[in-house]
């Protein structure tokens, strides 16, 4: 009898085959967005697919807008949070566009582990992140299929997990105070994105976990 893990692995294998087929068809570097809510397991699945296909992976979280003071996020509307959460220009110019040209990509990533600075902003990592070209480019993160990057994407994939399960995973992973603050700040924005901007039916492929 197949286990839940077996069923998920089967879905991942099918998605990997679809990506490889598109890559062979287009004969150029393709960009694949792996999207989903917080706690959906995007990074884990992106890594699995990346290993299978020898893809290069871009973590969208690396481009979080570290220069915006933490307290300011609560002043923004849902639309403003979507527009400001990542430095979309840097994602394009430092990561996706060079890799699409088969050039090396370099950027300084957001450093969450360093903690907040005195002005409420976060620092960037001191060591540069470097990614070498590949025929398959995976952009992994919530909102990776958004309108800010849609012209660069060849395939969009949703990791579909119930909100209850995602919250359970986050509660095990994150500090309680941080988790509560995160939900208060971002749950409404995520819900708006996945219900109105990129509903499940708008994705090319869906992996149900």
pTM here? 0.94
89-100 pLDDT, tens digit each: 999 999 999 999
If one compares 169 and 16, the residue with the highest pLDDT of the two is 16
Tell me the two tokens of residue 4.
């839940």
If one compares 93 and 4, the residue with the highest pLDDT of the two is 93
Beta-strand pair 56-59/105-107: unpaired
User: Quick one: which of 64, 91, 52, 85 has its CA closest to 186?
Assistant: 85
Domain boundaries, the chain: 4-203
Confidence of residue 172 (pLDDT cuts 50, 70, 90): confident
Q: Which CATH number fits domain 4-203: 3.40.50.10860, 1.10.10.10, 3.40.50.300, 1.20.120.420?
A: 3.40.50.300
Average the pLDDT over 86-111 and give the result: 98
Average the pLDDT over 125-135 and give the result: 98
User: How much is the pLDDT for 180?
Assistant: 81
Contact (Cβ atoms closer than 8 angstroms) between residue 102 and residue 133: yes
């Amino acid at each position: 009898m197949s286990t839940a893990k077996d069923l998920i692995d089967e879905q991942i294998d099918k998605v990997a085959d679809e990506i490889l087929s598109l890559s062979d068809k287009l004969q150029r570097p393709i960009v694949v967005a792996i999207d989903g809510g917080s706690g959906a397991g995007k990074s884990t699945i992106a890594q699995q697919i990346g290993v299978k296909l020898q893809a290069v992976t871009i973590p969208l979280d690396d481009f979080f807008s570290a220069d915006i003071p933490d307290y300011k996020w609560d002043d923004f509307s849902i639309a403003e949070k979507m527009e400001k959460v990542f430095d979309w220009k840097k994602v394009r110019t430092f990561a996706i566009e060079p890799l699409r040209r088969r050039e090396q990509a370099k950027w300084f990533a957001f450093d969450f582990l360093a903690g907040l600075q005195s002005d409420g902003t976060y620092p960037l990592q001191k060591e540069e992140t470097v990614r070498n070209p590949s025929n398959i480019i995976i952009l992994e993160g919530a909102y990776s299929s958004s309108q800010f990057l849609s012209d660069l994407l060849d395939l969009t994939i949703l990791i579909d997990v119930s909100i209850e399960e995602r919250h359970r995973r986050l509660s095990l992973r994150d500090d309680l105070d941080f988790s509560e603050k995160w939900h208060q700040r971002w749950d409404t924005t995520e819900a708006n994105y996945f219900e109105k901007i990129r509903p499940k039916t708008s994705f090319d492929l869906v992996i149900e976990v």
